[in-house]
Each structure stands twice: as structure tokens, then as C-alpha cells.
Amino acid sequence: MRLAFGILFSVIIIAMAVCARIAKNSGKRMGFAAACLLAALILPMAGNGIIIVSGNKTVSLIGIWVPGNKAVPSEKLASGTDGNT
């Protein structure tokens, strides 16, 4: 199941990158805004993909701290902090 979700996330990330490239090359201001939005969503999607595919706790923690991914590790939730302190 992890492999299936990993493949799905990979396809979605590639599709988002292709769409961002096409939108940026469109020459319209709306296209540039759409390209920026899609580019901003790629890293959090990659982090979530790392978390889902990994079976190792250490690698999953790397996926949590990928830029833009605002997930909080379960240890910090258990200690009563939200990770912002």
C-alpha cells in the first residue's frame, strides 16, 4: 500500500511540476501566479510522500521537516508542545 501511495505522490508531483512549467511559459500574469502556487505545493507534497513511503522512524522525521511541511512530530504532541516553542 505504501508503494502505491508513493507512486501516486510521485505522479502528482511530476504533474504539478509540468503544469507549473507550462503556466510559467504562458506569458500571462495569471499563469505566473498559478506557477508560483504549484511550485509552493511541490515541497510539502514531497515531504508527505517521504512520510508515507518510509517505514523507518528516522526517515519519516526527515519528511516532517521538509520545508513547508507543518506537521508536528508525535513526541512533541505527547509532551504538550506544538513544536513552535
Whole-number CA gyration radius for the chain = 16
Instruction: Report the mean per-residue pLDDT for the chain.
Output: 79
User: And the C-alpha cell for 23?
Assistant: 503556466
User: In this predicted structure, what is the pLDDT of residue 47?
Assistant: 83
Average pLDDT, integer, range 45-66: 79
Number of Cβ within a 10 Å radius of residue 48: 18
Distance of alpha carbon 69 from alpha carbon 44, whole angstroms: 5
- Going from N- to C-terminal start, the domains of the chain cover 2-78
| Position 81 confidence tier, pLDDT thresholds 50, 70, 90 | low
